[in-house]
Every structure is written in structure tokens, then in C-alpha cells.
């Protein structure tokens, strides 16, 4: 591991998750990786996002293990970071849905908005790159 | 499908792929989805990115089918877009590596820079959201 690559603490990862609102969900669809951008929020610290009825995303994430990613980068300083949450999905209960109603959640790709998916994290990991390496000469 | 969701043509997707330089690779690792940010370039229209020796990404993408995603969004207008390339990976030949040397490729997470991975696309798809829907009331 190079000295310009830093592993983020879970606390740092959770802070970054609080700042952003768009991420990507990676999930297997018939054994082939698929990836979907989502608007997300945090419910009791867990990532939650909405899926529209009949969408590919909704079908894919039902009772699935998914990876959820956010990242950011500064092209001027060539620095960047990423946070990845891996865990099983579940749909919210009615009571949880009421809590989720206070979040600014909207489905990225439309459809109705009754389906809120929660990721129960098995792992939360992150990395920060202080600067990208020089180009090979 | 809602009227504010537009399917992008392959030509539009390819144009967007030419503009960006950071994307995410989704791949299965022991049956579980994983997702990695990468710096990428285009070689003969195909997505290429570098992996460092000994990295999780390098191990995961060898002879694998992956999904590669880029996206962009405007929080002011609540509009966004995403492009996803799905295909099999291969390492570049020596001759292709020379061509890749002209690209501004750097590994996101370090390691050596001898391993350039190419995605041969089975599909290139994209969507644009003119605006996000209003919040439920």
C-alpha cells in the first residue's frame, strides 16, 4: 500500500455518507453485475433508497446482497475518496416508512414511490487518495 | 416509463464516455457484488483502466464480466444521467499497451501500472432524467 492511500475509519465513512445524497448500487442480475445510480438517505445510520415498481433495480435488489458506493474527487489536486457499504437489503416496515418520509428520498428513475429499500451493512469501508501518482515516463 | 426519463442512444452514451474520466466498476467477488472507482480512458472506443498488482480490483476483474458506470447530476435543476457498459474484461496485449500509453491512465488505488484492463462491451446503455419528480405530499 502506498503512503498516499489512506484507509478511512468507519466514523469517517459514516460522516461522508451523511454529506452525499447520490450513490450507486451494484447487484447481481442473473449472475451478471449491474449498477444503478440512486438518491439515498440514512435511516438509523443505514443507507435507504427508493425503487419504482416494475423497475430493473427493484427486481434486482429484493432480498439481495448489494454493494453501495459513493465517491468524490478533486481534479485540481488529483485527490479522491470512496466509501463502500456491503450488506443485505430489506424493504421497510410501515413504521420505518414513516421515519423515511422525513428523508428527502426520491427514486432516481421514476415509478411509484412506495418501495423503500434498506441496506443492513455487513461492512463499511473507505479509502482516500491524497494525490494520484505521477504518470509513468 | 415517465416522460422525464429519456433513454440515451449509443452515440450519446459514447459521447458522454469521452467526456468523463472517473467511473466505477461493479464485479462479483465470490458471488458478492463489489464496486471500485477507477480512472479510465477509451481505446478504440472501449473502456480501459489500470489495476495495481495484488489489488482486490485486479483479482476480481480477471476474465470476468463487469458493469462499468459513469454518471453526472445537477443538484440545482434536479437533472441527472448515467451510462452503463457491460462486458467481458481482458488484459491488453503489448501492442495495445503502447496505444494505451498515450492515454492519461493512472490506477485509482496504486500499485504498479503494468496492468491495463479492457472492457469489450456487450451493451452500452444510458438514461437521462430531465428533472427528478416532485416529492410525495
DSSP string, B5-46: EEEEPHHHHHHHHHH--EEEEEEEETTEEEEEEEEEEEETTE
Which member of B34, B37, B104 has the closest CB to residue A80? Answer: B37
Which member of B26, B31, B110 has the closest CB to residue A34? Answer: B26
Asked if A24 is an interface residue toward chain B (Cβ–Cβ < 8 A), one would say: yes
pLDDT tens profile A92-104: 877 777 777 777 6
- Of A28-32, A54-58, A121-125, B104-108, minimum mean pLDDT range: B104-108
Structure pTM? Answer: 0.87
Chain A interface test: which of B5, B19, B26 (most A C-beta within 10 Å): B26
Q: Would you place residue A87 in the very low, low, confident or very high pLDDT band (cuts 50, 70, 90)? A: very high
User: Quick one: pLDDT at residue A1?
Assistant: 42
pLDDT tens profile B37-68: 998 999 989 999 988 777 778 888 888 999 99
Q: How close, in Å, is residue B108 to chain A by CA atoms?
A: 7
Closest to B72 measured CA to CA, from B134, B26, B2, B12:
B12
- Assigned C-alpha cell, A110: 421514476
Asked if A31 is an interface residue toward chain B (Cβ–Cβ < 8 A), one would say: yes
Amino acid at each position: 500500500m502506498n503512503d498516499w492511500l489512506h484507509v478511512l475509519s468507519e466514523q469517517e465513512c459514516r460522516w461522508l455518507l451523511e454529506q452525499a445524497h447520490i450513490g450507486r448500487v451494484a447487484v447481481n442480475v442473473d449472475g451478471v453485475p449491474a449498477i444503478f445510480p440512486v438518491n439515498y438517505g440514512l435511516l438509523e445510520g443505514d443507507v435507504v433508497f427508493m425503487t419504482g415498481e416494475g423497475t430493473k433495480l427493484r427486481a434486482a435488489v429484493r432480498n439481495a446482497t448489494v454493494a453501495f458506493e459513493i465517491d468524490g474527487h478533486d481534479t485540481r489536486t488529483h485527490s479522491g475518496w470512496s466509501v463502500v457499504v456491503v450488506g443485505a437489503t430489506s424493504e421497510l416496515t410501515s413504521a420505518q416508512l414513516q421515519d423515511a418520509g422525513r428523508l428527502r428520498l426520491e427514486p432516481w428513475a421514476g415509478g411509484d414511490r412506495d418501495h423503500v429499500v434498506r441496506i443492513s451493512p455487513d461492512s463499511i469501508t473507505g479509502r482516500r487518495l491524497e494525490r494520484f501518482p505521477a504518470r509513468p515516463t
